[in-house]
Amino acid sequence: MFYSVPWRRYEGIYETPSTMSPLSIVVLISGRGSNLQSLIQAQQQGALNSALKAVISNRPEAAGLQYASAQQIDTVVVEPARFEGREAYDQALIEAIDPYQPQLVVLAGFMRILTPTFVHHYAGRLVNIHPSLLPRFKGLHTHQRALDAGVEVHGASVHYVTEELDGGPVFLQVEIPVFREDHADTLAERLLQQEHRLYPAAIQLIAEGRIQWVDDNLQFDHTPLDQPLLLDAPH
Ligand code: GRF
């Protein structure tokens, strides 16, 4: 299914139904945080009807934390070294997130495998962005693996998170062509530009109530969604 993002189609004039209150979100990062930046910018420009409550990282040096602080957004670091084992760590993470009462927890380059306890705690309100056209190339090194497989089209996906790594239901994707001269870095760089359109658009669909995942059913405008939506190509 082909999906045009209204704020692109209408050249920046974006209409959020005035009755809708902003979707409260907490973003989890581990590093650079360029997707986090795209969310903050979309929120500031009115393209994303969200209220970003906090940015949480497992790494104190994550560059995205500085960016968030500069925007007066709460930042929290939960360092794995302070906890014994994944269960204890994820429990601490839950205790860091829950006071913000987010309607959605957004993984944006958060480089940890989450425990089932964590995933169940946020069932239906936990999303991730992955740099491949899922279900192809789950896990790491997606760009090189796409090149090795000789695909002509690469892309990124936004999905709800389940216990299966990169295996939850995908609802929005973006595609880019693979060029003959591409290597992993050029592909990653070109795709990242599109991720920065994809993630705000995906979360806006949730903020508008157009995408819902209820009782293991993915719905778009209250109709079952069997195939991920595809973000329109850049103009
Ligand atoms: C992105 O490529 C995202 O798809 C993946 O991790 C990377 C995070 O980059 N999950 P950044 O920290 O948002 O710049």
Are 39 and 108 in contact, with CB atoms under 8 Å apart? Answer: yes
Is residue 1 pLDDT above 70, yes or no? no
Residue type, 30: S
Of 182, 184, 63, 64, give the one whose Cα is nearest residue 132. Answer: 184
192, 193, 196, 203, best to mutate for ligand 1 pocket (most atoms within 8 Å of CB):
192
Indicate whether 2 belongs to any domain. no
pLDDT category at 5 given cuts 50, 70, 90 is: very low
How many Cα atoms are found within 13 Å in the side-chain-facing hemisphere of 185?
Answer: 0
d(CA 22, CA 133): 29
Indicate whether 149 belongs to any domain. yes
pLDDT category at 9 given cuts 50, 70, 90 is: very low
Are 140 and 188 in contact, with CB atoms under 8 Å apart? Answer: no
From 130, 143, 154, 196, active-site residue: 130
pLDDT tens column, 94-139 = 999 999 999 999 999 999 999 999 999 999 999 999 999 999 999 9
Q: Are strands 50-57 and 2-3 parallel, antiparallel or unpaired?
A: unpaired
Indicate whether 57 belongs to any domain. yes
d(CA 202, CA 211): 9
The reply to whether 183 belongs to the active site is no
Looking at residue 233, what is its pLDDT? 77
Indicate whether 3 belongs to any domain. no
Q: Which domain holds residue 19?
A: 8-230
Q: Of the given ranges (12-16, 35-39, 151-155), which has the lowest mean pLDDT?
A: 12-16
Is residue 148 pLDDT above 70, yes or no? yes
CATH of the domain at 118: 3.40.50.170
**Total domain count, the chain:** 1
pLDDT category at 214 given cuts 50, 70, 90 is: confident
Indicate whether 144 belongs to any domain. yes
Is residue 210 pLDDT above 60, yes or no? yes
